[in-house]
Structures are given as C-alpha cells and as structure tokens.
C-alpha cells in the first residue's frame, strides 16, 4: 500500500503541474516522459513554481513580492500538512485557488497559531525571534476549514469538475532584499493520501515553463497565458485618454489576494509625454527600517504603485513600494510614469518617484495597491470603495491618486506642479 501511495504522491508532486494546468485549460497532459530534463527528479518536490517580476511574471505580481505555487489533488479524505517558519518580512500568507484561478481560502500571517514555545511576529509588535522560535504548522483540507486550527480549505465549496487546485505562499518585502523567502526555507510538505503520509521536500530550484520548449512547458505557458488573458480582458474599465483611477470590473481568475484591493488607470504612450500621479501617502510599518509588521496605529500594512503591461500574460513592469516612495513635507507622493527617452530619475529631481514606462508599444494599466487597512483608515481605503461600490475619487479623499498627462518638458523646466494648473 505504501508503495502505491508513494507512487501516487510522486505523480502528484512530480508531474501534477501539467495535469492540474491541463484541467484548467481542458487539454490532455503530455506523458511523464515528456517532462523537461531536470524537472522534478525521483519522487518530485514541493513548490514547483515561483512567480515574481523576473521569473514567471504573470497576472500582475507586485515587484516587491514573491509567490511560490504548489499544485495539488485532494480526495475526500486527503490532506496536505505544512510545517514552516514565519519569514522576516512585511507580510506572509497561505492562499488556495481552484481551477478557475479564483480564491478558495486565505490564511494570513497574523491568523496562524505558532507552535508551542514559538512566537508569531505578525500577531504582536515584538522583536523578531530567531527562526527556531517562530515555527508553525497548517493543514490544507478538501472541505470546510477551521482557521483557529490552522486549517485552510483546498477545494471550492461549490465544487468543480476535478479535485485539484493551487496553494500559494506569498511573501512581501522581506527584511533582507536578497532573500525573497524572508530568510527561511519554504514550508515542508507532507501529503496524507489514503491514510498514508509521504513527506516531500521543497524543490532545489523552481520550474519555469518559459525556460523550456517541451510539450509540457508549451502547455503550461499556453494555459497561463490563455487563462489569465481571458480573466483580465474585461477587467479594466476606464479611458486611457483620461488617466483616471477606477475600480476594476473584476479580479477573478487572476490569483487574487483577498488582503489586497486595487484601483487602476489605463495609460497610453505618446512621445514627449509622461503620466503624473499624486496623492496622500498612508502610513505603514517600515519593516525594512526595523519596524514590526504588527506595529499598531499604521494605516495600511503595505501599499504600492505598479506599472503593468495590458497584454497577456499581464506582467508587471515595475513597482514603487511604500518604503521606496518619496514623500514630501505635506505627506504626499508624486509619481511620474516615464520612458527613459522622455524623463529620467536624475532629471526628475528629488521630489518625484519615477516609475519606468516599459515597452512604449504596449498599452498599460497602473495600479495602486492597498493591503489590510486599519479600522481607522478603512473609510479612505480602496477596500471601502469596492465594498460600497462607490467612486474611489469621492470616498478616498486626499488618498485618491489623481493622475494627469503632462509634457516631459514641463516637468523638467517648471516642475510637476505645472501639470495640475
């Protein structure tokens, strides 16, 4: 029995990427022998896929975050046990998704109960404990989940055609920018299948299908591009000629994070013209400066302004995170989205934060991201605007990003202030 279970788990963790994504796309997966050389050898490994701004850049990732993905299959009595260490980072969460790439469940950092003798540094403003004192365990279950027991639901309550899904670990703004996983190893994974437990170690190196030309890699790339393209095609209302931030029609099918909400503006390029965006900056716990992510009184856990290509697979071009954004004496940010041929950061001056335009031949959408607003800030947050289906320009007050197009020459010679006259 154990050999059969191990074989099943090996198939899941070694080649489930192709099978799961094939279920999303409705295509037949290639046989195991067609897997790219070096991918998931032996019994396979966990966290096969990693997404960020440089590796598998799809579905509008934040450039200051990394996403590790574990495809899985769960029968009625199956589960996936996780054991890990809280990262040294601004934010961390576990998220599950169905084959429609929409959220099933979220277990956020400050909701996760630590192991006995350990401390959750996201639950209280404490000095970061050593890794050995910040361990945790959680379980992915196929049905209803009890968050107080560190359970997360793995399959949609409404059901779907196949019992497969995705688990994503998100880590935002690690304290050490050279360690995207926040200075800790990824969670260990144990599949509990048919009453047998089979541990699976994290992959030594994630698999990026865009680096291969085999049948599975081609199928994976097509699935990501098609599924994300279909989900995003009608999600962004607005008029690029106006450069006005509005609520998206939907983020379903784009691996949305329930702790984030977004407003965006379409942008089009014109030589010699830049986009200027100004608004009041919410306060945040500056973890890169040593502040605890659980510091009370801050308005948002995290915020950023990101420039993205409006073409499948909808990659991010660049982001300016809260901690990397210049704030003036009045507490306001001023971003300039510009091509290097029109305006550089050196020319723009010390009061502006320049975000690259990227390819000038592709339409753009620029996003303001709000994560986890405090109760006091909630009425001015993107979350409140979307919950009440209100115009964010009226509900966010000074925190609403007001955008306008402006001649690059005007910014260079008269300053950004002349763009709003």
Parallel, antiparallel or unpaired: strands 151-153 and 135-141: parallel
At residue 39, the pLDDT reads: 32
pLDDT at 132 over 70: yes
Which tens digit of pLDDT belongs to each residue from 75-92?
A: 888 999 999 999 999 999
Indicate the burial class of 146 (C-beta count within 10 angstroms; 0-12, 13-18, 19 or more). exposed
Residue 235 and residue 89: Cα distance in Å, rounded? 30
At residue 367, the pLDDT reads: 92
Among 53, 395, 393, which Cα is nearest to 242's?
Answer: 393
pLDDT at 12 over 90: no
At residue 314, the pLDDT reads: 81
Token pair 């503006």 in the structure block, residue: 265
Per-residue confidence at 214, pLDDT binned at 50, 70, 90? low
Residues of the chain with CATH 2.60.120: 234-420
Which tens digit of pLDDT belongs to each residue from 351-392?
A: 899 999 999 999 899 999 999 999 999 999 999 999 999 999
Q: Distance between the two ends of the chain, CA-based, in angstroms?
A: 75
At residue 54, the pLDDT reads: 81
Which tens digit of pLDDT belongs to each residue from 44-82?
A: 788 988 888 887 777 788 999 999 989 888 888 899 999
Per-residue confidence at 312, pLDDT binned at 50, 70, 90? confident
pLDDT at 186 over 70: yes
SS3 (DSSP) at 153: strand
At residue 203, the pLDDT reads: 84
The domain made up of 234-420 has a fold known as: Jelly Rolls (2.60.120)
Question: How would you label 395-419 residue by residue, b for 16+ Cβ within 10 Å and e otherwise?
Answer: bbeebbbebebbbbebbeeeebeeb
pLDDT at 202 over 90: no
């Amino acid at each position: 029995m154990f050999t059969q279970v191990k074989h099943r788990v090996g198939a899941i963790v070694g080649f489930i990427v192709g099978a799961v994504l094939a279920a999303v796309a409705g295509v037949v997966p290639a046989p195991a022998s067609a897997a790219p050389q070096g991918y998931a050898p032996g019994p396979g490994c966990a966290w096969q896929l990693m997404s960020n701004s440089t590796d598998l850049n799809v579905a509008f990732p934040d450039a200051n975050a990394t996403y590790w993905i574990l495809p899985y299959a769960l029968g009625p009595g199956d589960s996936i046990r996780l054991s890990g260490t809280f990262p040294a980072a601004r934010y961390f969460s576990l998220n599950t998704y169905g084959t429609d790439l929409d959220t099933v469940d979220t277990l956020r950092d400050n909701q996760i109960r630590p192991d006995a003798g350990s401390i959750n540094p996201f639950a209280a403003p404490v000095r970061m404990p050593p890794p050995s004192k910040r361990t945790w365990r959680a379980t992915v279950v196929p049905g209803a989940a009890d968050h107080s027991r560190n359970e997360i639901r793995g399959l949609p309550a409404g059901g779907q055609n196949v019992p497969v899904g995705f688990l994503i670990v998100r880590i935002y703004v690690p304290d050490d920018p050279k360690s995207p996983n926040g200075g800790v190893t990824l969670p260990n994974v144990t599949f509990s299948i048919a009453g047998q437990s089979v541990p699976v170690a994290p992959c030594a190196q994630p698999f990026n299908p865009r680096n291969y030309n085999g049948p599975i890699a081609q199928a994976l790339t097509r699935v990501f591009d098609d599924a994300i393209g279909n989900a995003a095609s009608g999600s962004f209302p607005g008029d690029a000629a106006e450069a006005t931030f509005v609520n998206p029609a939907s983020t379903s099918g784009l691996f949305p994070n329930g702790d984030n909400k977004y407003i965006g503006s379409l942008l089009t390029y014109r030589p010699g013209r830049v986009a200027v965006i100004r608004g009041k900056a919410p306060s945040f716990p500056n973890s890169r400066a040593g502040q605890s992510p659980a510091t009370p009184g801050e308005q948002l856990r995290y915020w950023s302004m990101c420039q993205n290509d409006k073409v499948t697979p909808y990659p991010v071009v660049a982001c300016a995170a809260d901690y990397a954004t210049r704030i003036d004496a009045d507490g306001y940010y001023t971003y300039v989205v510009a091509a290097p041929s029109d305006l550089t950061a050196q020319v723009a001056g010390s009061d502006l934060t320049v975000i690259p335009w990227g390819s000038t031949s592709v339409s753009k959408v620029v996003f303001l991201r709000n994560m986890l607003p405090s109760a006091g800030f909630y009425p001015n947050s993107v979350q409140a605007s979307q919950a009440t289906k209100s115009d964010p320009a009226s509900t966010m007050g000074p925190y609403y990003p007001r955008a306008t197009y402006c001649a690059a020459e005007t910014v260079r010679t008269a300053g950004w202030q002349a763009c709003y006259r």
